[in-house]
Chains A and B, each alone.
Chain A
Amino acid sequence: MKFLHLVWAALNRRRARTAFTLLSVVAAFLLFGLLESVNSVFAQVGNSIGAAHRLVTVSSGGLMNSLPLGLQNQIRTVPGVQLVTSETFFGGTYQKPKNFISVIAVGPKFWDLHTSLKLSVEARRAFDATQTGAIVGAALARRFHWKVGDQIPIKAMIYPRKGGSYTWMFDIVGIYHASKPLMEQQLFFRWRYLDEARLFGSGTVGWYVEQIADPKEAGRIARAIDALSANSGHETRTQTSSAFAADFYSQYVDFGLIVSAVMGAVFFTLLLLTGNTMAQAVRERTPELAVLKTLGFSNRTVLALVLAESVLLVVLGGAIGLVLAGATVHALQAQMGSELPMMPVGAGIWLRGLAAMVAIGLVVGALPARRGMRLSIVNALAGR
């Protein structure tokens, strides 16, 4: 510890260079923090569950497999579950094939559970009373100039009607609002309409969403829900809504692979960059290291000083990067809510980050440190 000021002085010797190197370390670990934040949601898929107010139950065979309607009443009896609704992905296009809309058929309790989607009492009443009623997001309504009372045809992606037609008519009975336009892009209609009119698949839903009383109970409740269907041929997996979102995306991308590839490239670049900086810094200070050795500093102390310098540099930059990543995730979550497939930058990410920082610092410092350790005092003093 008493040597710390020596390490600090060495870093301060070329402020601009240190600042530049620090900045690249900050950038690398900001990226690391963000990617890990997303990645840990993906990693959590299928694993144990963190704290959450809302759980999602999907078929363990994947999102595209449906679940029986009868499961809903059973889920409702699981202690700790306050509300259950079913949701079924419908999808669709309006007028042109490129006008894709996220259309979802929902159970009656849907609006009680998703209170962040605001709609008027009249709209709710009309939705409950109208078989073909639909409620659309405000942003979506603006996009297609829809208003309450309009009747709109939607071309279904998956489900044909009895008789084979893919065109479904909906009566817009309300507009919902959310905190972000991004979340006002969907069309919700009654599952009962879907189920009575579709050619196949009746009696099934896509997935269930549960509201639970105590977030800390999430793990236990999820296990209890999954136990209901154990060995039934339609086994389920219950997870937090953010893990569900990640699960949804991972149908399309192997996120873990992307993270590994990107971070591999970033850290490799960082190694070259900081490695070069450290080599240069130590070369410049050869006479100073020779003086320390003259005064009786052992080879090992000199080695440790140089290693400490590079580790400190990387840990300092890395910590700033992770703090920034944490703040970024926090801000994004405040904006987009719990559906955002990102986890807070927590202890796990910090631990892995710190391990990476120390490892990079040691690797980067190793060669210069060895050079400093091996330097011959008399030659260095004579400038040889």
Chain B
Amino acid sequence: MSALVEIGNLSKVYHRGRQTVEVLHHIDLAVEAGEFVALMGPSGSGKTTLLNLIGGLDSPTDGTITVAGERIDQLGQGALARWRAAHVGFVFQFYNLLPMLSAQRNVELPLLLTKLSGSQRRRNASVALQLVGLADRAAHKPGELSGGQQQRVAIARAIVSDPTLLVCDEPTGDLDRQSAEEVLTLLQRLNREHGKTIVMVTHDPKAASHAGRIIQLDKGTLVPLEQAAA
């Protein structure tokens, strides 16, 4: 069986004026279905760039990305948007909830792109909120929730359309110890009990320890395992 995410010879070059910055160099990586991978590395090493490529938010300059058997590196913007809606859930450091919408409405957002009826959308969003332990906060706006609670709403939004892959960019970066622990436990549960494949960028070794595997990125290159362990 092949991996859920397969990356081959991946490069990403950014242009800043006349300058070109090669952020990722010839990366090869495979993530098996059901894995929980932590992606670590110094600031500026290209973690977010790699995660965005895996999640289909951006396209590589070179190389291939295959997710669940589908090549996404060549997809155009529209196709990529449809692909994201169907296959990926995103969790960000700063939650990125819509401030004017209730938790319930925030979680329903991805479902607006499906054919589900209004009552089905409401039901699915309620289930997702229940799963993250916030059923009683459905009517609250983000501003009325703590950081940890907002992040759990964001996780509910990421899983509500039942994607195979969750990508998380420093999901605990803005949280206190205890909230971070809650969020990490939740991600672990989603991985173990619900079989979600997770790729999580983090700075924090303690956060990374919740993952099944840690990979290191340095200056745009993956650090070989033995070196990372050393």
Roughly how many angstroms separate A362 CA and B52 CA in the complex, as a whole number? 33
Within B188-213, which residues are at the interface with A (CB < 8 Å)?
Answer: none
Q: Answer yes or no: A158 CB below 8 A from chain B CBs.
A: no
B108-134 interface mask toward A, CB cutoff 8 Å, 1 = contact, 0 = none?
011011000010000000000000000
Whether the Cβ atoms of B100 and A295 lie closer than 8 Å is no
- Known contacts: A296-B84, A299-B77. The answer to whether A378 contacts B52 by CB under 8 A is yes
Q: Give chain B residues whose Cβ lies under 8 Å from the Cβ of A381.
A: 57, 92, 96
Whether the Cβ atoms of B98 and A291 lie closer than 8 Å is yes
Whether the Cβ atoms of B57 and A295 lie closer than 8 Å is no
Q: Answer yes or no: B105 CB below 8 A from chain A CBs.
A: yes
Interface stretch, picked from A9-17, A101-109, A121-129, A246-254, is A9-17
Whether the Cβ atoms of A295 and B110 lie closer than 8 Å is yes
Q: Give chain A residues whose Cβ lies under 8 Å from the Cβ of B99.
A: 13, 288
Whether the Cβ atoms of B85 and A295 lie closer than 8 Å is yes
The residue among A5, A292, A297, A377 with the most chain B CB atoms within 10 A of its own CB is A377
Shortest beta-carbon distance, A270 to chain B, in Å?
25
Roughly how many angstroms separate A381 CA and B57 CA in the complex, as a whole number? 10
Q: Answer yes or no: B78 CB below 8 A from chain A CBs.
A: yes
Contact of A295 among B48, B90, B118 (CB under 8 A): B90
Q: Answer yes or no: A382 CB below 8 A from chain B CBs.
A: yes
Whether the Cβ atoms of A378 and B57 lie closer than 8 Å is yes
Q: Give chain A residues whose Cβ lies under 8 Å from the Cβ of B98.
A: 6, 9, 288, 291
The residue in chain B whose Cβ has the minimal distance to the Cβ of A285 is B98
A284-319 interface mask toward B, CB cutoff 8 Å, 1 = contact, 0 = none?
000110011111111100000000000000000000
Shortest beta-carbon distance, A8 to chain B, in Å?
9
Q: Give chain A residues whose Cβ lies under 8 Å from the Cβ of B81.
A: 293, 296-299
The residue in chain A whose Cβ has the minimal distance to the Cβ of B82 is A296
Contact of A296 among B52, B58, B85 (CB under 8 A): B85
Q: Answer yes or no: B68 CB below 8 A from chain A CBs.
A: no
Whether the Cβ atoms of B78 and A298 lie closer than 8 Å is yes
Q: Answer yes or no: A145 CB below 8 A from chain B CBs.
A: no
Roughly how many angstroms separate A291 CA and B89 CA in the complex, as a whole number? 12
Q: Answer yes or no: A2 CB below 8 A from chain B CBs.
A: yes
Q: Answer yes or no: B101 CB below 8 A from chain A CBs.
A: yes
Contact of B58 among A2, A288, A295, A378 (CB under 8 A): A378
Q: Answer yes or no: A3 CB below 8 A from chain B CBs.
A: yes
- Known contacts: A297-B81, A299-B78, A378-B57. The answer to whether A292 contacts B109 by CB under 8 A is yes
Whether the Cβ atoms of B57 and A296 lie closer than 8 Å is no
The residue in chain A whose Cβ has the minimal distance to the Cβ of B79 is A298
Whether the Cβ atoms of B57 and A377 lie closer than 8 Å is yes
The residue in chain A whose Cβ has the minimal distance to the Cβ of B80 is A296
Count CB-based A-B contacts (< 8 Å).
62
The residue in chain A whose Cβ has the minimal distance to the Cβ of B48 is A382
Whether the Cβ atoms of B100 and A12 lie closer than 8 Å is yes
Roughly how many angstroms separate A378 CA and B12 CA in the complex, as a whole number? 13
B66-108 interface mask toward A, CB cutoff 8 Å, 1 = contact, 0 = none?
0000000000011001111110001010001111110001000
Roughly how many angstroms separate A6 CA and B102 CA in the complex, as a whole number? 11
Shortest beta-carbon distance, B120 to chain A, in Å?
12
Q: Give chain A residues whose Cβ lies under 8 Å from the Cβ of B109.
A: 292, 295
Shortest beta-carbon distance, A200 to chain B, in Å?
78
Shortest beta-carbon distance, A302 to chain B, in Å?
10
The residue in chain A whose Cβ has the minimal distance to the Cβ of B160 is A295
Roughly how many angstroms separate A250 CA and B108 CA in the complex, as a whole number? 60
Shortest beta-carbon distance, A380 to chain B, in Å?
10
Q: Give chain B residues whose Cβ lies under 8 Å from the Cβ of A297.
A: 81, 113
Q: Give chain A residues whose Cβ lies under 8 Å from the Cβ of B90.
A: 294-295
Roughly how many angstroms separate A296 CA and B99 CA in the complex, as a whole number? 19
Roughly how many angstroms separate A3 CA and B96 CA in the complex, as a whole number? 19
Shortest beta-carbon distance, A2 to chain B, in Å?
6
Shortest beta-carbon distance, B220 to chain A, in Å?
16
Roughly how many angstroms separate A293 CA and B57 CA in the complex, as a whole number? 9
Roughly how many angstroms separate A298 CA and B78 CA in the complex, as a whole number? 6
- Known contacts: A9-B101, A291-B96. The answer to whether A377 contacts B85 by CB under 8 A is no
Within B33-49, which residues are at the interface with A (CB < 8 Å)?
Answer: 48-49
Q: Give chain A residues whose Cβ lies under 8 Å from the Cβ of B96.
A: 287, 291, 294, 381
Q: Give chain B residues whose Cβ lies under 8 Å from the Cβ of A9.
A: 98, 100-101
Shortest beta-carbon distance, B136 to chain A, in Å?
22
Shortest beta-carbon distance, B47 to chain A, in Å?
12
Q: Give chain B residues whose Cβ lies under 8 Å from the Cβ of A12.
A: 100
Shortest beta-carbon distance, B49 to chain A, in Å?
8
Q: Give chain B residues whose Cβ lies under 8 Å from the Cβ of A2.
A: 112, 118
Roughly how many angstroms separate A191 CA and B192 CA in the complex, as a whole number? 104
Roughly how many angstroms separate A293 CA and B113 CA in the complex, as a whole number? 11
- Known contacts: A296-B82, A296-B84. The answer to whether A10 contacts B100 by CB under 8 A is yes
Q: Give chain A residues whose Cβ lies under 8 Å from the Cβ of B86.
A: 296
Q: Give chain A residues whose Cβ lies under 8 Å from the Cβ of B100.
A: 9-10, 12-13
Whether the Cβ atoms of B112 and A3 lie closer than 8 Å is yes
Question: Which residues of A are interface residues toward B (Cβ below 8 A)?
Answer: 2-3, 5-6, 9-10, 12-13, 287-288, 291-299, 377-378, 381-382
Would you list the 7 A-B pairs with minimal beta carbon distance, nearest first? Answer: A296-B85, A9-B100, A296-B84, A291-B96, A295-B110, A378-B58, A296-B81
- 6 A-B pairs with CB atoms under 8 Å apart are A5-B105, A13-B99, A292-B109, A294-B96, A296-B81, A378-B57
Q: A377-B57, A382-B48 are known; give 7 further A-B pairs, CB within 8 A.
A: A5-B101, A9-B101, A293-B81, A298-B78, A298-B81, A298-B82, A378-B58
